[in-house]
A and B are shown apart, each in its own frame.
Chain A
Amino acid sequence: MSTLEFDHVTVRYDASTVLDEVSLTVPDGGIVGLVGESGSGKSTLAKAAVGLAPVHGGRILLDGEPIRLRGRHRPVQMVFQDPFSSLDPRMTIGESIAEALYRPESGRLSRAGRRAEIARLLELVHLDPGRSGHLPGELSGGQRQRVALARALAGRPRLVIADEITSALDVSVQGAVLNLVREMQRELGLSMLFISHNLAVVRYVASQVAVMEGGRIVEHGPTAEVLGRPQHDYTRQLLAAIPGGHDIPTKETTP
């Protein structure tokens, strides 16, 4: 796995600046949580890293090299929010994963090799490999999100971006997906940019947190620091707004 570095990245759509010189580093093997409200630019940052948003300024580096956004086996892969539109309804889940499979330089993967690899990936996300012939319509939302994760891992990426991957799921399923994300990080050493509007979810999976507002990162640091002793007013507002009646940290508690 690798280090992803956003270096003063600016993204504009027509006249409006959606990302304003954003700098952020996702360390090797770490999960960085990105929180913010709708329109803050957090999804745009993810899209920029996979070439789906036009970058007007700054650089995106992977291990110090400009990130490759063309051709096969792109080093950064992404899992999307909506489990119902992120899989082609006409392709079996095996085919969806196969399309993204890593192919060695020496040539094509044998049929058996490909099947074995698909089975390995499905097991990795705790799905029965026997289901590779199923269509997405036969799977529940949580299972589809696992398939999406398996597909993202199929191309042997150096980093994975998860964009609100649990916000469309029912609460009883959300927990299982979050557990899986933590397990991947622990066992594969996966580097991840984990985007969510839910602070409690980010707190649970991420070792670092970055808070975005209006296209800028207003606060960034270790999760316990940022959520325990927030420095920026906006972070404090976000924390105060969480339902569930917990103590609102105040400025006085900072050292």
Chain B
Amino acid sequence: MSLWVLVTVSFLMIHLVPGDPVRAALGMTAPTELVEAKRQALGLNDPLLTQYVHYLGNLLHGDLGESITTQLPVSETISQRLPATASLAVLAFLVAIAVAVPLGVTVAVATRRGRRRRTELAFAGGSVVLGAIPDFLVGVALVAVFAVGLGWFPVAGRTDASSYVLPVLALAIGPAAVLARIVRVEMLAVLETDYVRTARAKRLPARRIYLRHALPNAVTATLTLGGMLLASMVAGTVLVENVFSWPGLGSTIVQSIVTKDYPVVQGTVLVYGLGVLVINTLVDVALAVLDPRSTIGEL
């Protein structure tokens, strides 16, 4: 269902643009014959339904059309640039989880039932502030301090491993802060449940209560909420890539929107959407593994 909507939206997008997209792309000065030829080539003069069927058919063959400006096949551009974006997103994803879960759990256990008010306040304040700073701004700040100021990391581009540090951090810090908050809240809720009380009635060691009884249940609830957040990291790459001139899809999509290169926009939107769907599916699978009651949701 989601997949179908995604494909259809990416198809319709071009038709919802007011006026003639080809004319818009080629500019007002382009000769009418050229525009008409281009329209013909793109199949824009066929009935909508025919175009749609064509579009779906081409998609099945991996054909995303070709760029209006560079004439290159869109699929080629995407396959060139996708690895940079994907590696960035996956790394940031892992960093965010690796930081947020232990942090959230530790803070929850430490500040439960009104203990250590100061730690709680510091955590709440810090996570709200960090969560409120948009990732591109974190990126700009990181560049200003660590690249321009201290010169520890490259300012831009994708060269070696060190060039990954700042973009990954820029992408991961905000979601990690929000995720840590969610983990803490869920963990606190789970620690108040009847079954944790049962575990305490069994006089189990504290470690076992937290790690075996509370954590799996907190993660189940966290995943449901945090899945959205992780999906939004995929989209977040667009902004961060622009800060670091990262040679990924994010730069491509922005450029193509500005130059009105609609086939490229269509293709990249589709790829981003697919990325999100893959993450949502992975979250569902993870939930199914963790929670014996859940069933794998529809794609």
Complex: A in contact with B (CB within 8 Å): no
